[in-house]
Amino acid sequence: MGLGDRVGGPVSLRVSGEFLRVSREFESDGATYDTRLKFSNLGLYADYFAFAGGFRLTAGAVIGTRRATGNAVASNGTLSINGSSFPAAGENVGAIARFPRTAPFLGIGYGHHQSSKGSGFYADLGVVIGKAQAQILPSAGIATAASQANIDAEQRRLQDSVNKLKAYPIIKMGYSFNF
């Protein structure tokens, strides 16, 4: 849901609320994984209608919560940390990746250009720029069995993997109405 208005010539400003929650459970390598993706943002955008027919360039920012979490529980009695297996009966290892609270957005789109009253369609394709900070969260039993050195090595490996994602794509489509 959002609001927008032309501020002069080919430029308009918009604000919108954007929400996404996705969960998935799966099994791999003797563990059951419970993963969640949660985005709750306020988007602030400036549109430049450089092309005929409603096509536009968009720049802006997203402000809010963007995070991915996961939790692994051993199915076979062990969990792997830093390439070594450790007894894990009743234990788990969690992980969280948090994106910056404020991040820039660049994109292209169609719509939000109506000059007359009525309904319309809009679409956005763009990227939010910003690297996440990741953290490993082992339960007490795993932390003791694996040692801090193994936990730290696994933490570095996770952060290195997350650092490869410098931006993530955004695709939005919707319905608009001009009063």
Q: What is the pLDDT of residue 38?
A: 95
Q: What is the pLDDT of residue 95?
A: 93
Going residue by residue through the chain, which has 179 residues, state the pLDDT in tens, using 9 for 90 and above: 778 777 888 899 999 998 999 999 988 777 788 999 999 999 999 999 987 778 999 999 999 999 999 998 887 788 888 888 888 887 889 999 999 999 999 999 998 766 667 788 889 999 999 999 999 999 998 888 888 999 999 999 999 999 999 999 999 888 877 77
Structure-token match 């969260």, residue found: 137
Which of 147-156's residues contact partners 24+ apart within 8 Å by CB, and which partners? 150/81, 150/82, 150/84, 151/81, 151/82, 153/82, 154/81, 154/82
Q: What is the pLDDT of residue 116?
A: 66
17: helix, strand or coil: strand
Phi, psi of 112 (to 5 degrees): 60, 30
119: helix, strand or coil: strand
What's the rounded Cα separation, in Å, for the pair 74 and 152?
Answer: 20
54: helix, strand or coil: helix
Q: What is the pLDDT of residue 114?
A: 61
Condensed to tens digits (0 to 9), the pLDDT of residues 68-101 reads 999 988 877 888 888 888 888 878 899 999 999 9
Q: What is the pLDDT of residue 115?
A: 65
Helices marked H in the chain — which ranges? 140-146, 148-163
